[in-house]
């Protein structure tokens, strides 16, 4: 699935989003999800151009993978787009083409210091954009700038969408059952004690609009 951007809604207060209700395990398309605003000076707002559906998303919707239940959540943790707004202290500029890494680092633990911050037990999977905070199944996403990476001029957001999905699948194949081509995303019910491997050969990214 892709939430494709068809209009500049920056001056509006609501946007389209596909929203997950963690209490009811339901998914709903809405037109009145609030457009995010900059919170911290180093935040940026990304206007989503391509957003993937991951095997982890399926697990979340089925209640097999932990996600925020506090309020309806715009899911989507694999997306690319254009920066439309930057905080006062951000190094990014409006108009830059970017991809978002949904995971954060605590910068202290061994996992983070060895570059494997997706395994971090305090940040990592427990703060993922699109799982614990609003993500890319929406028109706009609030992102800490540490999660944002610019794309080279010769890589489009669409190409990034395809390559990012392929990379996750390869990661899944490497860590799963490559012979069957059905590598599984490890989806623990409790992430408090267990690292999580991302990536699934079942992941799919489609363009709807």
- Kindly list the residues in this chain that would bind Zn ion in the complex (CB under 5 A): 54, 56, 106, 109, 112, 120
- Check if the beta carbon of residue 130 is closer than 8 Å to that of residue 104: no
Residue 130: CB atoms within 10 Å: 29
Catalytic residue among 42, 59, 77, 185: 59
CB 133 within 8 A of CB 68: yes
Which residue among 42, 56, 84, 128 is the active-site one? 56
Q: Which is nearer to Zn ion, 37 or 181 (CB)?
A: 181
The CA-atom distances, in angstroms, between 187 and each of 111, 154, 162, 190, 199 are 19, 35, 23, 9, 10
| DSSP one-letter string for 170-187 | HHHHHHS-TTTT-PPPP-
Q: Decide if 56 is catalytic.
A: yes
Strand partners, 73: 20
Nearer to Zn ion, 120 or 142 (CB): 120
Shortest Å, Cβ 68 to Zn ion: 16
- Residue among 15 and 54 whose Cβ is closer to Zn ion: 54
Catalytic residue list: 56, 59
């Amino acid at each position: 699935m892709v939430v494709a951007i068809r209009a500049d809604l920056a001056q509006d207060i609501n946007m389209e989003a596909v929203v997950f209700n963690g209490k009811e395990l339901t998914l709903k398309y809405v037109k009145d999800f609030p457009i995010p605003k900059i919170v911290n000076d180093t935040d940026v707002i990304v206007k989503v151009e391509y957003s993937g559906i991951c095997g982890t998303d399926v697990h979340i919707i089925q209640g097999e993978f932990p996600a925020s239940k506090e309020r309806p959540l715009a899911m989507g943790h694999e997306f690319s787009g254009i920066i439309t707004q930057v905080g006062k202290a951000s190094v990014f500029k409006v108009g830059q083409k970017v991809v978002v890494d949904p995971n954060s680092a605590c910068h202290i633990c061994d996992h983070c210091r060895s570059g494997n911050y997706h395994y971090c037990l305090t940040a990592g999977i427990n703060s993922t954009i699109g799982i614990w905070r609003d993500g890319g199944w929406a028109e706009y996403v609030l992102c800490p700038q540490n999660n944002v990476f610019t794309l080279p001029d010769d890589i489009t957001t669409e190409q990034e969408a395809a390559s990012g999905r392929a990379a996750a699948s390869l990661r899944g194949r490497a860590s799963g059952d490559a012979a069957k081509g059905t590598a599984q995303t490890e989806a623990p019910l409790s992430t408090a004690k267990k690292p999580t491997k991302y990536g699934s050969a079942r992941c799919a990214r489609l363009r709807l609009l």
